[in-house]
């Protein structure tokens, strides 16, 4: 890892727990919610949120992986569960970093094809300068960064961390 560490393992664990509580407060009346993580790091982060949410609430959590081509997000998007499984449910779309907003906005667009009871977004790091008017409802940390800087989140068995590199 080269660059400035912005979150260590313990801080990420704290952010996950806090986001889980925020989701619980928002969806408190729901029996089931869908936690949909954008493939790779977003899905890993979603899984961690789902585990935390299940440990603090009696809401049934269904985990969903959202496969988006990040280089060409207008390509068809697929999910690990069928549309019927998330129709008329509460859903939280999760990614690790909200950078330009492109991936998240296309992910949101995909889920608008079916009726949802409630729809929210969650990210670990919000970079505060976006190309699209998309926001995270739940976020671990907000950073004001330059367009030359890159935020990298590493989920590792030895310990999770996030860092900023130029």
The pLDDT tens digits for 91-127 are 999 999 998 889 999 999 999 999 999 999 999 999 8
Residue 47 confidence class, pLDDT cut points 50, 70, 90:
very high
Query: What is the chain's percent helix, strand, coil content, to nearest 5?
Result: 30, 35, 40
Radius of gyration, CA atoms only, the chain? 15
How far apart CA 11 and CA 79 sit, in angstroms, is 30
Q: Pairing between strand 161-165 and 118-126?
A: unpaired
Which whole number is the average pLDDT over 24-45?
A: 96
Which whole number is the average pLDDT over 142-152?
A: 84
The packing angle between helices 9-26 and 41-56, to 10°, is 60
Residue 1 confidence class, pLDDT cut points 50, 70, 90:
very low
**Strand (E) or helix (H) holding 103:** helix 102-111
């Amino acid at each position: 890892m080269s660059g400035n560490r912005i979150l260590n393992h313990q801080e990420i664990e704290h952010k996950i727990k806090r986001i889980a509580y925020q989701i619980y407060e928002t969806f408190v009346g729901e029996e089931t919610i869908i936690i949909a993580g954008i493939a790779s790091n977003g899905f890993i982060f979603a899984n961690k949120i789902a585990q935390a949410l299940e440990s603090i609430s009696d809401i049934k959590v269904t985990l969903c992986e959202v496969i988006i081509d990040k280089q060409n997000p207008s390509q068809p998007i697929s999910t690990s569960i069928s549309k019927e499984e998330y129709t008329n449910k509460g859903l939280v779309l999760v990614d690790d970093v909200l950078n330009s907003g492109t991936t998240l906005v296309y992910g949101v667009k995909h889920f608008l094809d079916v009726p949802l009871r409630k729809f929210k977004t969650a990210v670990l790091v919000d970079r505060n300068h976006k190309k699209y008017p998309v926001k995270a409802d739940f976020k671990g940390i907000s950073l004001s960064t330059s367009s030359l800087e890159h935020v990298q989140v590493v989920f590792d068995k030895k310990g999770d961390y996030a860092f900023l590199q130029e």
